Structure formats: structure tokens, C-alpha cells
């Protein structure tokens, strides 16, 4: 749960819950600059919530933790109703 303590990490997880994204896509979609984005993705990666795959020069991130996905789905259900 501590990994979701920063708003940017929570938004990253919600975005990755929907589908896998490249770093560039995440930058554009969330309006985060690369240094901050890398830092927040690193925290999520160390927590085992996201994993990466490389395709040519691009790195893609996706959720790996089913429990994290369930938490995000629950939060989305709560906040989507407001």
C-alpha cells in the first residue's frame, strides 16, 4: 500500500491497469516529466507492482500484481461513483 502513497504512482497504476504503456505514452498521458516518471516507476517496480518489457528502443510497463489490480479496480469503483 505504501507504493501508492504518492499521487503520481497511483495515477500510473490506474493507467497501467487499463493496458500496457510505453514510457513515452505515460509521459504524454499523465503529463509527467521523464525524471519524475522514472523515479515513480522505479518505486512501483521495486514493490513488484509493475514489470517491464523492451521492444527495440522502447520500454513498456504493465501491472504484474493481481492484488494491486484488484485494489485499483476497487478504488476506481469507489471514486467513479462520485
Q: State the pTM of this model.
A: 0.82
pLDDT at 32: 92
Confidence check: pLDDT of 75 > 60: yes
Domain that holds residue 15: 2-80
Written as nine digits, the cell of 79 is: 471514486
Query: Considering only CA atoms, which of 11, 82, 79, 80 is closest in space to residue 44?
Result: 11
Provide the domain count of the chain. 1
- Residue 70: predicted pLDDT: 83
CATH of the domain at 47: 1.10.10.10
Amino acid at each position: 500500500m505504501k507504493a501508492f502513497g504518492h499521487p503520481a504512482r497511483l495515477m500510473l497504476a490506474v493507467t497501467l491497469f487499463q493496458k500496457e504503456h510505453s514510457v513515452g505514452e505515460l509521459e504524454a498521458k499523465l503529463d509527467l516529466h521523464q525524471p519524475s516518471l522514472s523515479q515513480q516507476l522505479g518505486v512501483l517496480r521495486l514493490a513488484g507492482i509493475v514489470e517491464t518489457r523492451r521492444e527495440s528502443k522502447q520500454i513498456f510497463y504493465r501491472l504484474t500484481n493481481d492484488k494491486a489490480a484488484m485494489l485499483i479496480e476497487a478504488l476506481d469503483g469507489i471514486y467513479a461513483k462520485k
